Structure 1
Amino acid sequence: MSHLLFVETTGLGVQAIEYAKKAGHTVTYLHCPQYEFTAPPELRDRARELADHTAAFADPADDEGVLAALRDSGADAGTVDAALSTLSYCAQTAANLAEAIGARGTPADAVAAARDKGRCRAVLEEHAIPSLDFEVVTTLAQALVAADRIGYPVIVKPVLGIGKAVTSITRSPAELEAHFTLADAARADLEQGMASQLDERFIVEALAHGDLYSVEVAADGESCVPLVCVGRKVGLDNPVLELGCTVPSGLPADQERELGDYAVRVCRALGLDLGVFHVEVMHTEAGFRLIEVNPRLTGGGLARLHQRGGRPRHLRAPRRPAPRHRRTPAPPPARGRRLAHLPGGGRELHRARRSVPRLVRRLPARSAFRMGPRDGRSVPAADDSELRLLRNGSRRQQRPRHRGRRLRRNAPRRRRGAGHPPHDRKSQQDVYAAARR
């Protein structure tokens, strides 16, 4: 069996550790106190319980400190077969550690190129892959010149890290000045583990208009294939805000193949040849254009959605069956264009999880998982949010049956050959009145 080294993790990464242990692999888990916010405490404790060796490191940018933590864990670095991280903030740390100990992992240079948005777009230009016009800046004066050259509106975001709070869509020089004025305050509000990933550089890009999609791309060192294409939902007033995802993507088959091929070309150009990668792409009038590449496995509720959508289980999510003495009956078949609304939380969420697979088999055309604001309240996490399964993408409720049909169904049965002639409406009304009483 293999010896797998996990450098930090997410909720989905804890599931990966569980699968690795069930398969008989040895697991070493290195964690950092800066990223306690990335998963609930019980999940992080579960990862430490499952791992054969575990230790903490203080700074993901300190390669020597991470290597020392590996030694402190009691694991033999020479026996490690592969190093990985499901947390975006530690993807570079895991790649550097894999090269230092001679284990398999995503190439460190490829991870660095993918994480640096300016360098990533430069690589795409070198390989003649269509991309957005951009410029990397460090000051407001440089940003104003770049925006004038590219043309408003533009989007301004950090070159490194995940900093949506430090990302703005600007439509005028005044809004661009406001972005730089508020950037320091927005950076100060971030968690330490997020803020430490950012530097003084920003990238000014042309604002892409269209529909947002993501592709999960898998590479094994030789081949590179798209696993699944996903339609993503964004805010109407703020396209930076992502609200959920949909599987299937909704694209025609030929365009979905084109989207998958585009994502594969991006990964190959960057040198991402080992791992699973999350590629976000905008479908514009001019074609597909890259938004960003994350050199790690997807997160959130996409793995569960992909499984519930009835597609092959490339991304697996565990099912939690109810105890035998509390099994709930299967819901009635969904007929016509019916909206199956499954509220989250407590026992209702437990029942919803059991009923989802049965409903999906009857709703093959389209599955949707949506998370976001509801009734003025923010939804904290995917598993606690509202789960809707839509048939053919329709929100319309099933039309109620005709009142007369319900009355005839409840009316007393008559013997064959007996009863009133069809034209005797008064007698028929008496039967309905008796049924109502």
Structure 2
Amino acid sequence: MSSPRRTLAVVYDKGAAGPREICSSLTDLADLVFLTVDTAHARSMSPLLAEFGAVLSVEGDAQRTAQLLGAHCPDGIVTFSETALPLTSEVAHALGLPFHSPSTVRLLTDKHAQRSRLRDLLVDPTRSVLLDDASRWREALDRVGLPAVVKPLRGAASRNTLRIDSAADAYQLLANVLAAERNSGALQPVLVVEEFLAGSDTGASGDYVSVESVVCGGTVEHAAITGKLPLIPPFRETGQYWPSGLPSAQQKAVLDLASAAIRALGIDGGITHTEIKLTDRGPRIIEVNGRLGGWISELSNRTGHPDLIRAAGRIALGEQVHCTLFDSDQTFFQHYNLAPLAGGRLESVVGVRDVRRIPGVTAYRQLVRPGTALQPGITTCQLDAVIGRADERDDMHAMIETALRAIQFQFSSPSGDLMRVNGLALRDEVNRRARHELHLKGSTTLV
């Protein structure tokens, strides 16, 4: 006699996994019920989600939402969206379902609270301070030192995240970020000013990694260390790859730090994504995220490693999940071209066929359609993804350079001027110039 079919609730909004990824990984595991929050993205995805399960619009507070979901008798609940973590936790708590506790979610989504907990438990000593008034800039910098990093108390995708290099720039820059947060809807914006972590010399790669972990019943196991490509200023991600290629001693130090941080934050179940800076004094925590990392499911599925979306669903349903650390002689990579900081409009993309013909490139995904208006600001906006596999790390970098030369973007600027650049120019010139202009003009359009 077969076991009764289980029901898994998925709280959906824009995040690390889209509808097709989620559904392809979870539909044979359980009947799906989607809770969609009231955002333009979630509303636009509702018809697609409805092809795979019931769709419930979030109504009112978490208690009302829990009552609405309770009628479907869910056996578990999960989310892949950073912004949906608090709601998911509250609904899970109301229905007695396993998920991050409300106190843990606060530590995962409040950057200052997370820093404080990691300091208090001697996991990571990085200094940080809260700031809601730019006039207090001197006090903040006295506590964290220079250079420093400023970011919103809550946020993702590098939104309004900037570096402060001198006291002369501090007041204006902090005032700009507070104004940008206010303009984006925050009634009482609060910033975190924290110590800048200087990365080691890592050559052509980025000076940080992320650790993808599976936590089940309080046991932490690591699925992968994700190597990173260099950031575009100020802190925008351009790509990642498996495996990281770290030396064994450094790899152990990174994994030990990730494990300690996960335990310190009280995470006893789910998938985590821990970003770690590689410094000359050893690895340091950038931040711990209580959900799947962006584009990580593509890597896990393409490499044949266990499906991490499915792992998240299984943990939510109370199953035991185990994993081993990914390793391979080949390098599996993703590279993202990013929108100009100055915004404008994407008019055309040329050279896609040439990119797809590059040996080792296995896919090209266009993420923004021509004709799309691009908002100015420093939030990471990916135009596309170049996906491939290389036998050697140097081969990966060469493939990416070849792809960047082949792909051509045409933008119209906010003033109406046309600009045509390849991926190299977009990476090396346009973004630097736009960042410089935003900083000098004191623009508040930073998001």
Q: TM-score, normalised by structure 2?
A: 0.67
Matched to 1:205, the amino acid is E
CA contact (8 A) 2:213 2:272 kept: yes
Quick check: 1:371 aligned with 2:336? yes
Q: 2-side partners of 1:32 and 1:178: how far apart? A: 35
Offset at residue 199 of structure 1 (A): 4.9
Q: Share of identical aligned residues, percent? A: 22
Matched to 1:296, the amino acid is R
Quick check: 1:29 aligned with 2:34? yes
Quick check: 1:202 aligned with 2:191? yes
Q: 2-side partners of 1:224 and 1:80: how far apart? A: 26
CA contact (8 A) 2:10 2:32 kept: yes
Matched to 2:288, the amino acid is V
CA contact (8 A) 1:154 1:169 kept: yes
CA contact (8 A) 1:160 1:199 kept: no
Quick check: 1:234 aligned with 2:230? yes
Q: Cα RMSD between the aligned structures?
A: 3.0
Matched to 1:172, the amino acid is S
Q: 1-side partners of 2:31 and 2:383: how far apart? A: 29
Q: Deviations over 1:307-327 (max 9, x none)?
A: 33x35234369xxxxxxxxxx
1:402 is aligned to none
Q: Deviations over 1:214-246 (max 9, x none)?
A: 11111112311111110122335x151111111
Q: 2-side partners of 1:200 and 1:186: how far apart? A: 9
Matches for 1:266-305 after TM superposition, within 5 Å: 266-299=261-294, 301-305=295-299
Matches for 1:96-115 after TM superposition, within 5 Å: 96-115=90-109
Q: 2-side partners of 1:16 and 1:120: how far apart? A: 28
Quick check: 1:263 aligned with 2:258? yes
Quick check: 1:64 aligned with 2:63? yes
Which has a greater percent of helix?
A: 1
Instruction: Between 287-296 and 141-150, report the one with greater CA deviation.
Output: 141-150
Residues 48, 265 of structure 1: alpha-carbon distance in 2 compared, 3 angstrom cutoff:
same
Q: Tell me which of 306, 310, 315 is aligned to 1:313.
A: 306
Offset at residue 38 of structure 1 (A): 6.5
| Structure 1 segments of 4+ aligned residues over 4 angstroms from their partners | 373-379, 381-384
Matches for 1:119-198 after TM superposition, within 5 Å: 119-162=113-156, 164-187=158-181, 190=184, 195=185
Which has a greater percent of strand?
A: 2
Q: 2-side partners of 1:386 and 1:38: how far apart? A: 26
Q: 1-side partners of 2:160 and 2:191: how far apart? A: 10
Q: Deviations over 1:379-418 (max 9, x none)?
A: 6367942234333122469xxxxxxxxxxxxxxxxxxxxx
Q: Secondary structure at the match of 1:49?
A: coil
Q: Secondary structure at the match of 2:278?
A: strand
Offset at residue 102 of structure 1 (A): 1.0
Residues 279, 45 of structure 1: alpha-carbon distance in 2 compared, 3 angstrom cutoff:
same
Residues 390, 38 of structure 1: alpha-carbon distance in 2 compared, 3 angstrom cutoff:
farther
Matched to 1:365, the amino acid is Q
Q: 2-side partners of 1:68 and 1:174: how far apart? A: 53
Instruction: Between 382-391 and 207-216, report the one with greater CA deviation.
Output: 382-391
Matched to 2:336, the amino acid is M
Offset at residue 133 of structure 1 (A): 1.5
2:84 is aligned to 90
Q: Deviations over 1:47-97 (max 9, x none)?
A: 22211x3211256xx3234235436xxx33xx3221221111011110111
2:10 is aligned to 6
Q: Deviations over 1:4-35 (max 9, x none)?
A: 11111447253233433223x1221110231x
Q: 1-side partners of 2:247 and 2:304: how far apart? A: 17
Q: 1-side partners of 2:340 and 2:267: how far apart? A: 42
Q: 2-side partners of 1:149 and 1:264: how far apart? A: 28
Offset at residue 273 of structure 1 (A): 0.8
Matched positions, count:
333
Q: Deviations over 1:171-190 (max 9, x none)?
A: 12232212233225423664
Matched to 1:222, the amino acid is G
Quick check: 1:246 aligned with 2:211? no
Residues 188, 65 of structure 1: alpha-carbon distance in 2 compared, 3 angstrom cutoff:
farther
Residues 222, 375 of structure 1: alpha-carbon distance in 2 compared, 3 angstrom cutoff:
closer
Q: 2-side partners of 1:220 and 1:107: how far apart? A: 14
CA contact (8 A) 2:16 2:81 kept: no
Instruction: Between 143-152 and 96-105, report the one with greater CA deviation.
Output: 143-152
Q: Secondary structure at the match of 1:80?
A: coil
Q: Deviations over 1:117-143 (max 9, x none)?
A: 111111112211123111122222333
Matched to 1:113, the amino acid is L
Q: Deviations over 1:291-339 (max 9, x none)?
A: 111111122x32222333x35234369xxxxxxxxxxxxxxxxxxxxxx
Q: TM-score, normalised by structure 1?
A: 0.69
